[in-house]
Structure formats: C-alpha cells, structure tokens
Structure 1
Amino acid sequence: MSTRIQVQVRRIYDAPMPSDGVRVLVDRLWPRGVSKSRAHLDEWCKQIAPSTDLRNWYHHDPESFDEFALRYADELRDPEPAAALAHLRELAEKQTLTLLTATKNPEISEAAVLARLLSGSDRHRRAEA
C-alpha cells in the first residue's frame, strides 16, 4: 500500500497556516529575529541541515542549485542525516509536513531538496556507477 506524502516548504518568517500540519525547521542555525514561541515549531531538525562547508560553498547561488542538491543528497546518506530523513518521512506519512527555512528563496534551499526527496520527485540523484 502506497502512502501519499504531502510536503510543503515555507519560510519561518511567514505566519503559520492551519494547513501546515507538522512544522519542522530544517536549518542548522536558529533564524534571526524569530522567538521560539513565534516560530510555532513542532520540531527543529538541525541534524538534517547541510554541512557548514556545503552551505558556505553554495551560498544560495541559483546557478549552483543543481550541484548543491546533488552534494546535499550525498550528505544525506551519512548515518545521522539519514536517520533524520527517515524520521521526516515517518512524519510526512502521517500528516502534511511543512519544512521551514529562513532562506530568502526557499525554492532553492535545502528544504526544497528535502521536499523532493520525501515526495519521491527527486531529480537530484547521482547516477549509480
């Protein structure tokens, strides 16, 4: 039996919506100017965030997004992020999952990569040798 997974990506600075379901921050660093009470978070899953090296390399350059997504998907194979990804998948199988990020362009963020992976529409997989 296949479970339909619904994952959405939003900025943490946007007001929460009733349709958000479970709200999970996926950034490594706490967003500036957002109090914990105002965030309306269910979880902060910072262990799934890209490594500092990858984040610094990428710097949200739209032209580098495809390569970022490939490198990030590789990082998600490591044990700690892989366990975090499995946890997010379990959450998404039960209800709508909203991945939150502080980035200005969430469509080119780690949250977008995670949403594609979780929903099965990932186009950022390296070809197996």
Structure 2
Amino acid sequence: MDAITLSRVYDHEPHGEGRCYLVERLWPRGIRHEEVELDSWAKDAAPSHELRMWFGHDPQRWEEFRRRYFAELDTRPQAWQPLVDAAATGEITLLYSSRDREHNNAIALRDYLLERLARQRG
C-alpha cells in the first residue's frame, strides 16, 4: 500500500520508512540543511514565486490557488513525475514549511499527485 503523507518541516520526526521530499521553492527559515533527512528537495514541484506571493496563504484564495498551481504543474511533469513514481512503489512524505496546516502547497500537491497516481494505474 502506498501513501503520500505530509509533515511540517519544523515538526518532522523521521520514522525511517519511505522517502522524504521538501516541496518548497525556498529553504525553510531557521533550519540547517543537515537538520533535515531528505531524499530530495523538489523545489521545481513547488508553486512559482509569483503564485506563492499572490496566494499569501489567504484561505479565501485557496480554490483559485489550487487551480493556478495545478495549471503550473501541468506544464512541468518533470518536476512531479519522480514523486508519483516514488509513491507508486512505497510511502513518501512531503515536507512543507507553512504555518497553515490546512491551506498550503503540500496539500494541493498531494492531491495533484494522488490524482496522477490513480490515472497511471488506470
């Protein structure tokens, strides 16, 4: 059984199973690179700088953010396909830095990846 879980990078406790990917365009403030056990920093799978700034973690912009972010992802399969491939073979964790645990790019990306994974399986 595969799964895509989410974890806030500031609270993340590695559990030794599955692969771990940071899905932020910018490295999280106050975190040293050595402090985070990562398989990869998937910054190209994160929203563009312009979209991130427009969204500003405003919950009222959430649905439009998702629509715009998915459109960006549609143009960058090389950024997200490795995540789908990894999820197809086991558990992956997407690390994010947002304080908002309900409206952030990792949630939207997880939904996008799960949809692509389901399509891939037919």
Measured against the shorter chain, the TM-score band is 0.7 to 0.9
| Alignment TM-score, normalising by the size of structure 2 | 0.87
Which ranges of 4 or more aligned residues in structure 1 deviate by more than 3 Å? Answer: none
Deviations, residues 79-124 of structure 1 (Å, cap 9, x unaligned): xx31121110001111111001111013311110111112229xxx
Unaligned runs of 5+ in 1: 122-129
2:22 matched to 1:41? no
2:88 alignment counterpart: 93
Identity %: 35
| Alignment TM-score, normalising by the size of structure 1 | 0.83
Change (3 A) 1:20 1:115: farther
1:72 alignment counterpart: 69
Which deviates the most, 102-111 or 22-31? 102-111
Q: For 1:89, give the aligned amino acid.
A: V
Computed over aligned residues only, the root mean square deviation of the Cα atoms, in angstroms, reads 1.6
Unaligned runs of 5+ in 2: 117-122
How many residues align? The count is: 116
1:8 alignment counterpart: 5
Deviation at 1:57, TM superposition (A): 0.5
Deviation at 1:35, TM superposition (A): 0.9
Q: 1:57 aligns with which of 54, 58, 62?
A: 54
